[in-house]
Amino acid sequence: MLRKLTSTLARCQRGAMAIETALVVPILCLLALGTFDVSSMVSRQQELQSAANEASTIVLAAANSTGVSSTDLEKIIESSVSLKPDQLVISQEYRCDAATARTSNLADCDTSKPIYAYVKLVITDSYTPLWTSFGVGSTFNYSVTRTVQVS
């Protein structure tokens, strides 16, 4: 009797489509959400790269003028590229004569030789993907650095 019931159920095609759909739809939904999150992550990285490029242009423009302090420069860049104050760090660096390494202390350089000035921009941000709410992965941190020679 069990063998007859099993063979009857094995040949029955009614409801097969519903069962296959119930198995496949959750996987397709997870793939779609994952694709959306990955595209959001890539998009944010591109936005930060563009912001760094624009900030570099602002630094070069400010280097040609006089009287722009680093705090004013930081405020200009933050408002121009829509960054929060804690997302942008600006620092001054110097390269002494033909040295390959840069230093943040001007006193390290011999003033009788050429000194080259740089402005270093570091833009940071983070993105928390949707899948972290399911216990998979963690927050993704971005860091984009640009160094611009100003003299």
Per-residue pLDDT band for 106 (boundaries 50, 70, 90) equals confident
**What is the model's pLDDT at position 99?**
79
pLDDT of 77: 85
Q: Which of 90, 144, 78 is nearest to 117 (CA)?
A: 90
Please, are residues 118 and 92 in contact by the beta-carbon 8 Å criterion? yes
Least confident stretch, 20-34, 58-72, 80-94, 118-132: 58-72
Give the phi and the psi of residue 33 in degrees, each rounded to 5: -65, -40
Indicate if the pLDDT at residue 13 is higher than 90.
no
What single letter denotes the amino acid at residue 51? A
pLDDT at 25 over 80: yes
d(CA 127, CA 39): 12
| The pLDDT value given to residue 9 | 63
**For residue 44, what are the β-bridge partners?**
none
pTM above 0.85, yes or no: no
